[in-house]
Structure 1
Amino acid sequence: MTTFATTDSTASHRRLTGWSGDADYFVFREYDTFEPRSLLDVLHGRIAGVMFRGMVKPDTCAELAERFWASPARRTRGAEAPGYFLGAFHYHKTTAAYLDETAEVAAALDDVLAVPEDPLKIFYEGLDRVLAEDGATVRPARHEGREACRGLLRSWHGQGEYALAPHDDLSQCTEPQQADFEIQKVAGHQPAALNICLENGDGGRLAYWNIRPDETSKRALGLHYTGSPYPLDTLDGIELKWVDVHAGDVYVFNGAHVHAVEPNTDPQLRRTTLAGILGFVDDSTVVSWT
């Protein structure tokens, strides 16, 4: 069963319209251990998200965070998503530019992730095992012999109502400058957002709305290729779920829904994650990118 968001004539913007799931769908299923088979429920659109509490050990989180902040390759991201990052992000770039940046930062990223229990390796090996049972596989997205970045370390420091404004991850997968990139095939399914929390203070929750905006809403707001930022009043009256996040938690959710990151209550505290995006490009292939 699905429902559809309606309009609100009292808002300065029309309320978003699109797909909303029922109570069985709109959940974050929680586990105390890594259960990779549950990832298929997210990738196939059966539930909104899953949370693996404390999947990454505290010493691994601390080591990765320390390496990230000490890395000379760490960069600052601009006003559209203020924060620091290490890796490459595909947002609003040509395919070639994204893959060039991936190659430039690959060695520095590998150095930071070279810990005994690399959580990205553990995550993707687990997913690959369960996909293999269905005759499928997972691999980095590719283009002309080059591979997408395997992970993105980032820390949001915006201090508005949200540290990272409400956005969706599907719109950017339709960027015309990347029409030659296979990640655009994910639009026929849905992108899943992977986040591995390395450090967090008070607050820093995930805000997740029960709405996958349709093209009518996106085009009316001029967000059909970026998916960011959605004005807050367009979200009035749409079901919202707050998800608590702690260091060591690993969570994956349907990135086509509007979501945001709450700032920490203490600006001196940092929320740092190791992240990626993944999704089916055909019935037997999941690809990942950043």
Structure 2
Amino acid sequence: MTGTGTGAVQAPPSRTVTGWSGDADYFSFPEHHEFRPEPVVDVLRGRRAGVIFRGMVARDVCAELAARFWDSPDRERRSTEAPSYHLGAYHYHKTTEHYLDESERGAAALDKVLDLPDDPLTTFYTGLAEELAPEGVDVRLARHHGRTASRGLLRSWHGDGRYALDPHEDRSQCTEPRQADFEIQRVVDHEVCALNICLEKGDGGRLLVWNIQPDDASKRRMGLHHTGSPYPTRTLDGIECRWIDVHPGDVYVFNGSHVHAVEPNSDPGTRRTTLAGIFGFIDDGTVVSWT
């Protein structure tokens, strides 16, 4: 179940968006200055909303990854849903086969960009796997009939409205009917965790997280049950929220079942580029990741 933090409280029913909200101990984002997988497990197990690792990735590694992304001939432009440039595959609103086809086609280009001794994706997931191994938990890429999900997604949002990325949550997209055969749908019985590695960012570009995991009634009422996006800002009025500033090299993990958004950069000439993924338990002994 999502929202398993202790001391949970229910959001007042008068709000347009109703659902689960956590108490002060849960709805917090502790900061660390070196990578420690233990706090990530707290997010995975629903004990904390998020965690931030400041400066986990060296600035020169961030700059090199960002440069390789923007120089890649395989970089694509996404003009629908959330406008962005990206390298890697989105599972959003696709059939399982379509997503895995795109994952396979983009694997070589993604591997070429990430081919560094200090690849932060490998560092993160290796550390998480080592932390969970004594509990008998396997950490791996999501798979289907011998095919695997993309291991990462490089992206740069360029929405020019109030948000570069509108308020949304990641749990609903994991119920896409056309992916009913994909094992990632079992994550909705646990916690859907978002991983973001900041590579470059100008002024602004903060993450905004609301202390609400919308219930099915809200999602169905707004027609967002299988998409989770976008939640009109007015429907979130009065709900506790947290602004999180991030800088190149910062790695942040949070419970993606919470409504969240991305602020645009205040200088239109600058870019906000991240390396991202989604992960979560599908059963007591398995954590899978995808994009």
TM-score bracket, normalised by the shorter chain, equals over 0.9
Deviant stretches of 4+, over 4 Å? none
How many Å separate the matches in 1 of 2:69 and 2:12? 43
- Map 1:142-157 onto structure 2 (within 5 A): 142-157=143-158
How many Å separate the matches in 2 of 1:7 and 1:165? 23
Q: Does 1:117 align with 2:123?
A: no
- Map 1:271-282 onto structure 2 (within 5 A): 271-282=272-283
CA contact (8 A) 1:174 1:225 kept: yes
Q: Deviations over 1:55-86 (max 9, x none)?
A: 00000000000000000110011231011000
Residue 19 of structure 1 aligns with an amino acid whose one-letter code is W
How many Å separate the matches in 1 of 2:8 and 2:120? 35
Q: Does 1:163 align with 2:164?
A: yes
How many Å separate the matches in 1 of 2:47 and 2:8? 12
User: Alpha carbon RMSD of aligned pairs, Å?
Assistant: 0.7
- Map 1:1-16 onto structure 2 (within 5 A): 1-8=7-14, 15-16=16-17
Specify the alignment match of 2:224 in structure 1. 223
- Map 1:133-148 onto structure 2 (within 5 A): 133-148=134-149
Specify the alignment match of 2:4 in structure 1. none
Q: Deviations over 1:32-54 (max 9, x none)?
A: 00001111100000000000000
How many Å separate the matches in 1 of 2:185 and 2:235? 26
- Map 1:65-104 onto structure 2 (within 5 A): 65-104=66-105
Residue 154 of structure 1 aligns with an amino acid whose one-letter code is R
How many Å separate the matches in 2 of 1:126 and 1:45? 19
TM-score scaled to structure 1, two decimals? Answer: 0.97
Specify the alignment match of 2:260 in structure 1. 259
How many Å separate the matches in 2 of 1:124 and 1:78? 30
How many Å separate the matches in 1 of 2:104 and 2:60? 29
How many Å separate the matches in 2 of 1:78 and 1:265? 21
Specify the alignment match of 1:246 in structure 2. 247
* Offset, 1:7: 4.3
Residue 177 of structure 1 aligns with an amino acid whose one-letter code is R
How many Å separate the matches in 1 of 2:243 and 2:80? 24
Residue 150 of structure 2 aligns with an amino acid whose one-letter code is C
CA contact (8 A) 1:6 1:16 kept: no
Specify the alignment match of 1:11 in structure 2. none
Specify the alignment match of 1:131 in structure 2. 132
Residue 72 of structure 1 aligns with an amino acid whose one-letter code is P
* Offset, 1:5: 1.9
How many Å separate the matches in 2 of 1:179 and 1:78? 26
Specify the alignment match of 1:268 in structure 2. 269
TM-score scaled to structure 2, two decimals? Answer: 0.97
Q: Deviations over 1:243-270 (max 9, x none)?
A: 0100000000000000000000001110
How many Å separate the matches in 1 of 2:165 and 2:80? 10
128-137 or 141-150: bigger deviation: 128-137
132-141 or 145-154: bigger deviation: 132-141
Report the 3-state secondary structure (helix = DSSP H, G, I; strand = E; otherwise coil) of the residue aligned with 1:102: helix
Residue 73 of structure 2 aligns with an amino acid whose one-letter code is P
Specify the alignment match of 1:204 in structure 2. 205
- Give the percent of matched residue pairs that are identical in Structure 1 and Structure 2: 67
* Offset, 1:146: 0.2
How many Å separate the matches in 1 of 2:277 and 2:84? 16
How many Å separate the matches in 2 of 1:216 and 1:256? 15
How many residue pairs match? The answer is 285
CA contact (8 A) 1:6 1:15 kept: no
How many Å separate the matches in 1 of 2:167 and 2:21? 16
Q: Deviations over 1:96-132 (max 9, x none)?
A: 0000000111101100000121000000110000000
How many Å separate the matches in 1 of 2:115 and 2:265? 28
Specify the alignment match of 1:17 in structure 2. 18
